[in-house]
Structure 1
Amino acid sequence: MKFRTPRLEINLRKIEENATHIINLCHEKGIEVAGVTKVVTAHKGVVNAFINARVDCLADSRLENLQALRKLETGIPLMLLRIPSINQVQSVVELADISLNSSMETIKQLSLAATALQRQHKIILMVDLGDLREGVWPDRVIPILKEVSHLPAIEIIGLGCNLMCYGGVIPTHEKMQLLVDLRELCRRETGLRLPVLSGGNSANLPLVLNGDMPPEINQLRIGETILLGCSVIDRSPWPGTQQDTFKIVAEVVELERKPSIPIGLQGQDAFGGTPQFVDRGYRQRAICNIGRQDVVIDNLQPEDSGIIILGGSSDHLILDVEDATQKIALGQEISFIPGYAALLAANTSKYVRKVTVRK
C-alpha cells in the first residue's frame, strides 16, 4: 500500500549547495569537516550530497547508522560521535575508524577488541570545557593520555570538546584557546603529537566566519548548519545558505468551524500536560494526519504564514486556518519547515515517508 502523507521532502540540491558553502569556508581556514548524518539517519542521498561537497569524514552517533554508512563503501573515514558503550566495543571497532572517548576503562576495552580484530582504532579524547556533557575534566587529561599511549591497537590522534549541546555554553575564542593550550601542555608532558583538535560542532562556525577561531583548531563536526542553513546560536539564517532544505507535508483530514476553547471541565492532555487556550471565537480549524509520534509539533513552521499551529496529539496536528493565505480544503496538503528537533523525529519515524527532490 502506498501512502502519500505524511512525508518528509529532502532537497538534495539545496543540501549539497549548503554543504559546499560551509565546507569551503572551513577548508579555507585549514579546518576539516566531519559531516554529521545523525539527524537524517545516514540517508544515502544526503550522504552523497556531503561527499560531493568534499566532506573529510562522515560522523554519526548510532552504530546502526554507521553500519549503513559502511555498506556504502565511500572510502571516507567514519567517526562515532556518541561516547562508546563498553558493551559494544567490538562493533565500534568494526564500524568506526575513529571514536570520541572519555572513559579510560572503555578505551582499554576498545584496545582489546581492536587487537583481536587486528585493526588500529583511532580515538579523540574529549575534554569538558564547561558544557557538562561528555569529556574528562582538564586536570585528568595528561594522566589518561599517558595510560592510553601504552595500549596496543589504539592511536590517540587528538583532543576534542563539545559545547552548545547540553549546557548551552557558547564557543568563544577563549574556550577554543583553552583546548589549544591544553594540547601544548599535553605534548610537553607526554611526547604525543595529538595532531587533531576537534573544536566542536555547528556552534563554532561563527568563530570561523568572523576570523576568531584559533588557527590550531583543525576539525569541526558539522550537521545542523549544513542541513537547515541556520546558526545554532540563535537559529537565524546562516549567510549564503538556504533554509527550505526539508519540508514536512501532511494532509487535511478534517476541516470544521469550531470554538477556540474546549467546552467542559479541563484536565490533562494525553501527554500529561495542561494546555492553555486563547479565545479567538469560532475559527476554521484543520486536522492533519501527523502527530507527536512522528514529529515535534512545536518545532514546525507552516509555510503559509496565516496558519497557526494550535497543538496536537499522538496522531493529529491541529491548525487554525481561518487566516490562511490560500483556501484550505479537505484532502489538501499543507507544508511545514522543520526545526532540528522536528527533523530528527520525522527522520526517525517509520510512519513518515522520505522523498528526495532536486528542484
Structure 2
Amino acid sequence: MIAQTPRLELYPDRIGENAKIVYDLCHAHGATVAAVAKVTCANPSVVHAMMRAGADMVADSRIQNLMSATALGLERPSMLLRIPTPSAAHDIVRYADITLNSSLGSLQVLSEAARMLGVTHEAVLMIDVGDLREGVWPDHAAKVAKAAAALPNLELVGVGANLACYGGVIPSVENMRLLVDVRNECRDASGLELPLISGGNSSSLPLLASGKMPAEINHFRIGETVILGSNVLDRSDWPGTRQDTVRLVAEIVELERKPSVPIGLRAQNAFGETVEFDDRGTRLRAICNIGRQDTSVDGILPQDPGIRVIGGSSDHLILDVEDATTPIHLGAEVAFTPNYGALLGLSTSPYVEKIIRRG
C-alpha cells in the first residue's frame, strides 16, 4: 500500500521514552503529572505511550479530546485545561474530572451542572501570577475561594498558574512562591485543605531541574517537552530526550527553474501580506502538496539541509531545492520537522494523514 501525502508520522515509542525522563523528574520532586497530548489531538497511541511512562492523569484543552481519551479506558483522572465554556458545562462535568477555573461564575455554572447530574466535580482555581492569560488576580483569590467553598457538588481541590504562554513570563522562585502564598491565603479564608498546587506547564521544568522549585508545588501539566523533546523557554533540546518523534512528509507536485523574485506590479498576497523577496537569481523550485490551511509553513524545517522553505499559499508549499542533497523529482517525498505550532495545525487538519510508526 502506497503511503499517502501529506502525512504526519508519529513515533509514540520515542515519545514514551521522553515522557519517562520528564515524569521521573517530576515524581522525584513529589509532584504528580498531567499528560498533555493536545498538540496531537490526543492521538490514542500517543496518550497510551504517556500513560505507560507513568502519567498520573490525562489533560487536554478540548473536551472532545477528553471524551476520546475517556473512551480509551485509561482509569486515570481527566483534566480540562481550557477555561470551561458555560454552554458546555454538562459535557464538561461528565467527561472532565477536574477543571481549571478563573472566575467564581464558572465555578457556579459547574456546580449547578454537577448538581443536576448528581456528581461532585473537582476544580482548581487559577491564579494570574504575571503572564496575563487566565487566572484570578492574587488579591481577589481568597474571596473567590471562600465563596467556592459553599457551592454544592463542587470541590475546590487547589490552585494553579499558567506561565510562558501569552506573556512569555518565565516560571521563577518568586512567582511560584507567590502561588504558594496565595494558596495559603485561600486555605485560611475558605477552610479548605487545597492540597494541589499546579505549577504550570513544560516551561516550569527548567526551574524544577535546577532544584529551586518550591517543595509545595506538587503538580505539573506537561506536553511539549515530552512530545518534541524541547526546552520551551528557548526551544533547545531537553537533556536526554529525543527530537525525532514527529515527521511531516509532503510530495513534490511541480518542479521548475524560476526567478526568485516575482515579475510585475505587486499588491498584497492572499493573506493580506506584503512580502519582500531576496533576489537569488534563477533557482530550482519545488511545490509540495501542503499549505497554510494545514500548518504554519514558517514552523516546518526541511530535514534535508539543502532545502529551504520560501513560503506558502493555502494549498501549496514553495521550496528552494537548488542545493538539495537528496534526489528531487516530480512525485518525490520531502520530509520536515514541525515545531509546536506547526504540529498543532497538522494534527488538527483533516487533510493530513496520521500515521503511527513503531520503534
Check the 8 A contact 2:142/2:182 in 1, yes or no. no
Q: 5 Å matches for 1:281-296?
A: 281-296=281-296
Question: 2:229 & 2:90 partners in 1: Cα distance?
Answer: 36
Deviation of 1:190 (Å): 2.6
In structure 2, the residue matched to 1:190 is: 190
Q: How does 1:211-290 map to 2 (within 5 A)?
A: 211-290=211-290
3-state SS in 1 of match to 2:184: helix
Deviation of 1:192 after TM superposition, in Å, equals 1.4
Partner of 1:344: 344
**Structure 1 counterpart of 2:33:** 33
Instruction: Give the equivalent residue in structure 1 for 2:129.
Output: 129
Query: 1:199 is matched with which residue?
Result: 199
Give 2:89's aligned residue: 89
1: CA distance, partners of 2:44 / 2:257 = 43
- Pairing 1:162–2:142 present: no
Which residue number in structure 1 is paired with residue 69 of structure 2? 69
For the residues of structure 1 that align with 2:113 and 2:255, how far apart are their CA atoms? 58
Q: Distance in 2 between matches of 1:46 and 1:326?
A: 30
Give the Cα–Cα distance (whole angstroms) in 1 for the partners of residues 258 and 204 of structure 2.
Answer: 47
Give me the whole-angstrom Cα distance separating, in 2, the residues matched to 1:12 and 1:322: 34
> Percent of counterpart pairs with the same letter?
55
User: How many angstroms apart in 1 are the aligned matches of 2:194 and 2:2?
Assistant: 52
Q: Is the 8 A contact 2:129 2:137 kept in 1?
A: yes
Q: How far is 1:3 from its partner?
A: 6.4
User: How is 1:103-118 mapped onto 2 (pairs within 5 angstroms)?
Assistant: 103-118=103-118
Aligned partners of 2:137 and 2:2: how far apart in 1? 52
Counterpart CA distance in 1 for 2:252 and 2:158 is 52
- Judge conservation of contact 2:147–2:190 (CA < 8 Å) in 1: no
Q: Structure 2: any 5+ residue segments left out of the alignment?
A: none
**Whole-angstrom CA distance in 2 between matches of 1:46 and 1:357:** 11
Equivalenced residues, count: 359
Partner of 1:144: 144
* Secondary structure of the structure 1 residue equivalent to 2:94: helix
Give the whole-Å Cα distance in 2 for the aligned partners of 1:188 and 1:99. Answer: 22
Are the counterparts in 1 of residues 78 and 98 from structure 2 also a CA contact under 8 Å? yes
Distance apart, 1:88 and its partner CA: 1.2
Q: Separation in 1 of the partners of 2:136 and 2:42? A: 28
- Per the alignment, in what secondary structure is the counterpart of residue 269 of structure 1? coil
AA in 2 matched with 1:17: E
Give the TM-score taking structure 2 as reference length.
0.98
What's the offset of the Cα at 1:149?
0.6
* One-letter code aligned to 1:99: T
> d(CA) in 2 for partners of 1:84 and 1:72?
23
Alignment partners' CA distance in 2, 1:140 and 1:94: 29
Q: Distance in 1 between matches of 2:106 and 2:261?
A: 54
Secondary structure at the residue paired with 2:279?
coil
SS for the counterpart of 1:114 is helix
Q: Which runs of 5+ in 1 are unaligned?
A: none
> Which amino acid is 2:333 matched to?
E
Q: What is the aligned partner in structure 1 of residue 314 from structure 2?
A: 314
Partner of 1:19: 19
- 1:255 to partner: Cα distance: 0.7
Counterparts of 2:358 and 2:275, CA distance in 1: 40
Q: Structure 2 CA distance, aligned partners of 1:312 and 1:147?
A: 51
Could you say which residue in structure 2 is the equivalent of 1:59?
Answer: 59
The residue identity in structure 1 corresponding to 2:259 is P
Letter in 2 for 1:82: R
Deviates more, 1:344-353 or 1:32-41: 32-41
Scaled by the length of structure 1, what TM-score is found?
Answer: 0.98
